């Protein structure tokens, strides 16, 4: 029997059919969401192996992988001041399988790099912060430099022969070194490397004079006498190195550190971002990560994606001011 279109019975039947269709589709949608991740994930580190960012990423991802029940493959893709690795993920499908660990250079590159191959605020979205390491300004024992006063004397005698290493163009170590040269009125040669590990190797070997580096990697070398700590780049004495004077105490007001956090491609679903954020925060509170951070002198920076987004915007603004004031370019 055919019911007329205006029949109440027909309307009720059509409404019931629609409800059945919607209910039938709902389990599939919920299952698809709940099934993430249903294959291995990858996290790109735009630095070589061996640095703090690489260490923190692998440490945290080990715990996150356990919680998600899927392997997480960490890929090192250094180069171009981290632009290569970041761009790789920015152009990856937003399917919840690709992430990138960024650091200070991500914010600095917005001002330093005239034509970034990605839009940092649209092509990528913040997921979770992870850690922060304080910086120490160090030199090799053969330099004869033990303090900021010694550095000033050596620079005047050296006639432009002193150099400072960095993790790469646009990294926090680069900007801090340039700021040091500007504040002290010194002629220092910038030597960029593809990551902290190779830069630290050359500093230990005396191929470069100075370097701002992450305290976790420098601590053992300072304590063994293989490196000399000129000063901590902290506002006050570091809880991790209370016996080392700050640069500020010695008349050079430089505060420098290295932070890191996860980003995902811009179109990654909210549910994936929120789940990944929750698992990273759980990992940061787990005994293995807490112990490793405390032992290594790394501060935990757990929080929401929104807090990380606000932090990045602030960092972009602050680095822009520093870069323009110091006249820093990628050629310095």
Task: Give the right CATH number for 41-132+258-326 from 3.40.50.1820, 3.40.630.10, 3.90.1150.10, 3.40.190.150.
Answer: 3.40.190.150
Please write the tens of the pLDDT for every residue from 158-192.
878 899 999 888 888 999 999 899 899 999 999 99
The stretch 141-152 carries a mean pLDDT of 97
Please write the tens of the pLDDT for every residue from 99-117.
999 999 999 999 999 899 9
Question: Residue 107 has what pLDDT?
Answer: 95
Residue 18 has pLDDT above 80, yes or no: no
Question: Residue 34 has what pLDDT?
Answer: 56
Sequence ranges of the chain with CATH classification 3.40.190.10? 134-232
Q: Higher model confidence: residue 64 or residue 28? A: 64
Question: Residue 54 has what pLDDT?
Answer: 94
Question: Residue 196 has what pLDDT?
Answer: 86
Residue 264 has pLDDT above 50, yes or no: yes
Task: Provide the pLDDT confidence category of residue 199 given band limits of 50, 70 and 90.
Answer: very high
The CATH topology of domain 134-232 is: D-Maltodextrin-Binding Protein; domain 2 (3.40.190)
Sequence ranges of the chain with CATH classification 3.40.190.150? 41-132+258-326
The stretch 295-302 carries a mean pLDDT of 91
Task: Provide the pLDDT confidence category of residue 332 given band limits of 50, 70 and 90.
Answer: very low
Out of 230-234, 269-273, 294-298, least confident range: 294-298
What proportion of the chain, given as a percentage, has pLDDT over 70? 89
Please write the tens of the pLDDT for every residue from 31-71.
444 589 999 999 999 998 988 899 999 999 999 999 999 99
What proportion of the chain, given as a percentage, has pLDDT over 90? 74
Cβ atoms within 10 Å of 320's Cβ, excluding its own: 15
Question: Residue 14 has what pLDDT?
Answer: 43
């Amino acid at each position: 029997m055919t019911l007329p279109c205006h029949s109440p019975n027909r309307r009720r039947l059509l409404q019931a059919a629609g409800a059945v269709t919607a209910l039938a589709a709902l389990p599939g949608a919920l299952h698809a969401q709940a099934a993430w991740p249903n294959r291995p994930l990858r996290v790109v580190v735009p630095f070589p192996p061996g640095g703090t960012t690489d260490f923190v990423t692998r440490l945290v991802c080990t715990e996150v992988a356990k919680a998600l029940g899927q392997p997480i493959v960490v890929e090192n893709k250094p180069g171009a001041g981290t632009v290569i690795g970041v761009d790789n993920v920015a152009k990856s499908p937003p399917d919840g399988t690709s992430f990138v660990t960024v650091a200070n250079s991500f914010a600095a590159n917005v001002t330093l790099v005239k034509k970034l191959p990605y839009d940092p605020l649209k092509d990528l979205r913040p997921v979770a912060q992870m850690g922060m390491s304080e910086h120490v300004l160090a030199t090799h024992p053969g330099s004869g430099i033990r303090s900021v006063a010694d550095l000033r004397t050596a620079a005047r005698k050296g006639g432009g022969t002193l150099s400072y290493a960095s993790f790469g163009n646009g990294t926090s170590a680069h900007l801090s070194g340039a700021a040091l040269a500007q504040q002290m009125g010194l002629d220092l040669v910038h030597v960029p490397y593809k990551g902290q590990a190779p830069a630290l190797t050359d500093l230990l070997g005396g191929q470069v004079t100075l370097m701002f580096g992450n305290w976790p990697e420098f601590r053992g070398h300072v304590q063994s006498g293989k490196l000399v700590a000129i000063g901590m780049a902290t506002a006050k004495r570091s809880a991790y190195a209370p016996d080392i004077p700050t640069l500020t105490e010695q008349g050079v007001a430089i505060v420098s550190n290295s932070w890191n956090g996860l980003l995902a491609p811009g179109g990654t679903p909210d549910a994936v971002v929120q789940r990944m954020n929750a698992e990273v925060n759980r990992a940061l509170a787990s005994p293995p990560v807490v112990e490793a951070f405390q032992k290594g002198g790394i501060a935990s920076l757990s929080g929401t994606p929104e807090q990380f987004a606000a932090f990045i915007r602030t960092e972009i603004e602050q680095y822009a001011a520093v870069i323009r004031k110091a006249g820093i370019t990628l050629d310095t």
